[in-house]
Amino acid sequence: MTRITSVSLRRVLDSRGNPTVEADVLTESGGFGRGAAPSGASTGEYEAIELPASESIAKAREHAVPRLEGVYAGDQRAVDNALRAADGTDDFSAIGANSAVAISMAAAKAAADVLGAPLYQHLGGAFRGENFPIPLGNVVGGGEHAKEATHIQEFLAAPVGAPSVSEAVFANAAVHAAVADVLDERGVPAAKGDEGAWAPPISDADAFEVVDEAVGRVEDEVGFEIRFGLDMAAAELYDDDEEAYVYGDETKSADEQIEYVASLVDEYDLAYVEDPLDENDYEAFAELTDRVGDRTLICGDDLFVTNVERLQDGIDAGAANSILIKPNQIGTLSDAFDAVELAARNGYETVISHRSGETEDTTIAHLAVATDAGYIKTGTVGGERTAKLNELVRIADDAV
């Protein structure tokens, strides 16, 4: 039987050294699952609410844990409905999306444990697809993840021609290393940002040159196609008062931003551009998608926040052609699945994603395989990032 008998919550460290919520779920028959909440720095305005870890734990212990005892862990919707009912708000502001997502993931793992199946198999079912997601690897970045570096938040290696997930993972690591070489040759020192990407004090224009060069070198070595992409996190660049995107001393109007991004897509043959425009500007997203959506992915992260209502608005407007899926943006695995399903039904590509603050939790690797996602964005190097990448390699090797 998979009835939940206990849910315990504790504070653990995330990759930034901040406290986050870890949940353990036990079932009647001895099934065990553990999940930990990640945490964003460039969070979208419409995300579910993360409370301070101690407060979230106290609220969840009081309101959610009693409701969960006796619920079937294998019935993910029942678990997630109990979390929603315990919270009673639309955005998990009562118990915190951090406790909610940690419990939701832990319950799924406990159910998989009872079944003796890997998590991706439990979540994806018997008829899931056989594809593997292409990892998008953050190799250069700034924005909210590293001060004094690029304005654009992330430059992402995209090994679109990799014959296997393992070769894709190693290609991204090779691009990360090649970026270090190119920076070194240019005499540019570089620390690392929150996600392990290089955070050099260079202009965005120079960063494009560096990444283009690094990608080209690795492409020659490995012999398959590697492109690159961006997370512009433009809501962080956008100034509501100025009604403009601010790049240091320079500003761009929405029209200029569309023009700029479209020219980057063509000049660098970008495979992917996430949040190129402000999270409230569906219209501008639609215009850009209309212009370049036939040759690149325009992805909504802060725009959609893994929320089916916001995604439906985007579909209606023709805004973007792909969605970033971050379970903690919405609070439960069921909600994340609903967003994936709506996206797939409407021809939107799905990209399962980590957060800048992470733990060793590997749920998103399983989620990406379970949902047949085209891509997974989970960094390139650093233990909390390689935890997911190595799990993907194990899943592909049937060794989980």
Residue 150 binds to ligand PGA (criterion: CB under 6 A): no
Residue 15 binds to ligand PGA (criterion: CB under 6 A): no
Residue 356 binds to ligand PGA (criterion: CB under 6 A): yes
Give the Cα separation of 242 and 232 in Å (integer).
19
Give the Cα separation of 173 and 198 in Å (integer).
12
Concatenated DSSP letters of 174-233: HHHHHHHHHHHHTT---EE-TTS-EE-S--HHHHHHHHHHHHHHHHHHH-S--EEEEE--
Residue 273 binds to ligand PGA (criterion: CB under 6 A): no
Q: Which stretch binds ligand PGA (CB under 6 A): 8-16, 205-213, 249-257, 352-360?
A: 352-360
Q: Nearest-CA neighbor of 99 among 33, 153, 142, 50?
A: 50
Give the Cα separation of 294 and 40 in Å (integer).
30
Interacting residue with ligand PGA among 31, 33, 35, 40 (CB under 6 A): 40
Identity of residue 19: P
Number of residues lying near ligand PGA (CB under 6 A): 11
Inter-residue contact 301 to 322 (CB < 8 Å): no
Residue 99 binds to ligand PGA (criterion: CB under 6 A): no
The residue assigned the tokens 């998608």 is: 289
Q: Which does 138 bind (CB under 5 to 8 A by kind): Zn ion, ligand PGA, none?
A: none
Q: Which stretch binds Zn ion (CB under 5 A): 228-236, 290-298, 305-313, 378-386?
A: 228-236
Minimum CB distance to Zn ion, residue 257 (Å): 16
Instruction: Classify residue 79 by burial, with Cβ atoms within 10 Å: 0-12, 13-18, 19+.
Output: buried
Q: Which does 40 bind (CB under 5 to 8 A by kind): Zn ion, ligand PGA, none?
A: ligand PGA
Q: Segment 217-256, which members bind ligand PGA (CB under 6 A)?
A: 231, 233
Q: Which stretch binds Zn ion (CB under 5 A): 113-121, 123-131, 254-262, 273-281?
A: 273-281
Residue 199 dihedral angles phi and psi, to the nearest 5°: -125, 70
Q: Segment 4-43, which members bind Zn ion (CB under 5 A)?
A: none
Interacting residue with ligand PGA among 15, 20, 27, 43 (CB under 6 A): 43
Interacting residue with ligand PGA among 37, 41, 152, 299 (CB under 6 A): 41
Give the Cα separation of 236 and 243 in Å (integer).
12
- Contact positions vs Zn ion (CB under 5 A): 231, 274, 301
Interface contacts to ligand PGA, rule CB under 6 A:
40-43, 144, 231, 233, 301, 353, 355-356
